[in-house]
Structures are given as C-alpha cells and as structure tokens.
Amino acid sequence: MRTHATVDATLRRMRAGSAPLEGVVRHRSGLICFVAVLVFVAICVLAQVLRPDLDWRKDPLSHYLTGHYGGWVRGAYYQLSMALMLLGVGLYAALRPHARRLAPLLLLVVAGIALWFTAISETDLPFLDRDQESDLHQVAALITFVSVTTAMMLQSWRFYYDATWRPHFGRAFPLAVVAFIALVIYANWHGAPVGLRQKTVIALILLWLGHAAWWLRCKQLARLPAAMPPAE
C-alpha cells in the first residue's frame, strides 16, 4: 500500500507540474500506443518484403536491424519502446485504485528500456566489440520478452478486479498466457525455423498490446467529455 501511495503521489506531482503530460497520460496514451503498435507492424512487415536477401522464416527480426532499411526498423523499435512505458503508465492511471498493481507498470517500463537496448546494440556502439554488442543484444532481447509477457499476464489479471475492464479479461488473459507459452516454446523447441518461432511470439505480443491500447483509448474517450471543462 505504501508503494502505491508513493506512485500515486509521484503521478500527482507530475500532473501538477505538467498539464500537457497529464493530458497525454490520461487522455491520449491509448491512441499514441495503438498508433505505435501499428507503425511497428507496418515497418516490420515492409522490411520482410523489401529484404529479399533475408528469409523471413529463418532470420529473426533482429537481422533486419542492420543493412538496408535497418534504420527504419530500429526507429520502429525505439518508438515501440516508448509506447510500452507509456502504456504501462496509462493502464495504471486508467484502472481504479483497488485494481492497480505496480508490477505490470514496472515490467512494461523494464521491457521498454530493454527493447531500446535491443535496437541500439546493433549500431556499432563505442567501447564495445562485436561480441560484446551481441551479448548485450541477447540479454536485452531476453529481458524484453520475459518482462513484457509477464506484464501482459499480470495486467490482464488486474482487469478482472475493475468492473469497467472486466469484460476484457476473457480475451486479454488467455492471449497473454498463450504468448508466454509461445515464448517458452520458442526458447526450448527447435523443430521450426527460428525466425518463424520468434515472429509468432512477437505477433502474439503485438496483438495483446494493440488490444490493450485500443481498450485504453476507448475508456479515455468515454471519460473525455466529463473531464473537459464546461463551455462558458
């Protein structure tokens, strides 16, 4: 309870010090995150088409971070990393106090930071040789996958405790569990090409993120008229 009070107090101070930030978190975070997911999907799908030198079934998405159009793919990673953190804050703020838990928010923040490191590790970092960059990429990607799928399950479970979000529990929680199981299979089963296995996990994660962002957007739209000051 003390932790939640600290987080709530921090959010109140942020809102008091920055009205635009309050508007983004409370009223625009769902839309921003939904668009970020769509942009990521569009760029990554285009990269599969525009890179005939890579086999989409065999090559993981990380192979598209370098070479032709690599800058676009890295940009997609960067904006999605920010969206993960914003989604965590937006969902935390949208749920009723008794349904909130800090763990999903923190895990989405960790996932966002790790995703940023996953992309930047493919940019010839100073002071690191290629082996060290590869190690950084592998660790960051693992943290991203584990953090985001765990956050998805925990956040979905909290939907059940908020009456306005409970209708989404039946879709969100099973999808999050399937994504987590797919991650375990990807890490331990090698009967299918690595690119196909990895992109299946990514697709499930993006499906959950897109749904959560859209639901958040709908909730924010429903509350927007009440939040706006009356016209004089």
Q: Report the C-alpha gap between 27 and 224 in whole angstroms.
A: 7
Give the pLDDT score at 123.
78
In a domain, 222, yes or no: no
Domain extent, residue 98, equals 2-216
Q: How far apart are CA 138 and CA 142, in angstroms?
A: 6
- The predicted model scores a pTM of 0.87
What secondary structure does DSSP assign to 151-203, as a single string? HHHHHHHHHTTSTTTHHHHHHHHHHHHHHHHHHHHHHH--SS-HHHHHHHHHH
Domain count, the chain: 1
- Sign of the torsion angle spanned by Cα atoms 47, 50, 53, 57: positive
Q: Is residue 170 part of a domain?
A: yes
Q: Is residue 225 part of a domain?
A: no
- Considering the domain boundaries, does residue 221 fall inside one? no
Cβ–Cβ under 8 Å, residues 64 and 121: no
Q: Residue 110 falls within a domain, yes or no?
A: yes
Does residue 82 belong to any structural domain of this protein? Answer: yes
CB 95 within 8 A of CB 162: yes
* d(C-alpha 175, C-alpha 168), whole Å: 11
- CB-based burial, 84-100: b 16+ in 10 Å, e otherwise: bbbbbbbbbbbbeeebb
The total of other beta-carbon atoms located within 10 Å of residue 38's CB is 13
Residue pLDDT tens, the chain, 232 long? 555 656 666 656 555 555 555 556 667 899 999 999 999 999 999 999 999 999 999 999 999 999 999 999 999 999 999 999 999 999 999 999 999 999 999 999 999 999 999 999 887 778 778 888 889 999 999 999 999 999 999 999 999 999 999 999 999 999 999 999 999 999 999 889 999 999 999 999 999 999 999 999 999 988 765 444 444 4
For residue 231, is it within any domain?
no
92 falls within a domain: yes
Q: What is the pLDDT of residue 226?
A: 47
